[in-house]
Structures are given as structure tokens and as C-alpha cells.
């Protein structure tokens, strides 16, 4: 059985994260929106990719839970 831990609000806060709820349409937009260009710094590209990855992962979860 996979060890799935529910989100611990305190641990998330300690990690500098905040709770954020978005509806499916917002997630879809974030997941598909990339404003990086050829001269975007690597750090910005990484952040952009991370955000889009999480948005699409959250969207996937949303879709498979119903």
C-alpha cells in the first residue's frame, strides 16, 4: 500500500508554501501558459516549468478523482 500522507498545513507553512485553491479552468490556464522566450533566464524557466507541472498534475488529480 502506498504511503500517502495528507498535506500537513504546518509543514507546508514551514516550507514556505501557502494553501491555494484554484478552479479547474484556472489550473488549465496556468498549465498551458508559458511566457518564457529565448532570453528568459534559466531560473525563470525552471520556475515556470515547475508551476506548469504542478498545475497539470493537480488538474490530472482533479480529473481522475471523479
Query: To the nearest whole angstrom, how small is the minimum distance from the Cβ of residue 36 to Zn ion?
Result: 3
DSSP 6-66: PP-HHHHHHTT-------HHHHHHHHH-----TTS-HHHHHHHHHHHHHHHHHHHHHHHT-
- How many residues contact Zn ion, by CB under 5 A? 4
Q: Is 36 in the site for Zn ion (CB under 5 A)?
A: yes
Interface residue with Zn ion among 48, 51, 58, 62 (CB under 5 A) is 48
Q: Is 34 in the site for Zn ion (CB under 5 A)?
A: yes
Query: To the nearest whole angstrom, how small is the minimum distance from the Cβ of residue 26 to Zn ion?
Result: 17
Binding site for Zn ion (CB under 5 A): 34-36, 48
Amino acid at each position: 500500500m502506498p504511503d500517502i500522507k495528507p498535506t500537513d498545513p504546518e509543514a507546508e507553512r514551514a516550507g514556505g508554501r501557502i494553501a491555494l485553491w484554484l478552479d479547474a479552468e484556472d489550473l488549465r490556464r496556468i498549465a498551458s501558459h508559458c511566457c518564457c522566450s529565448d532570453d528568459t533566464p534559466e531560473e525563470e524557466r525552471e520556475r515556470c516549468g515547475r508551476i506548469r507541472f504542478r498545475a497539470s498534475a493537480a488538474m490530472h488529480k482533479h480529473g481522475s478523482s471523479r
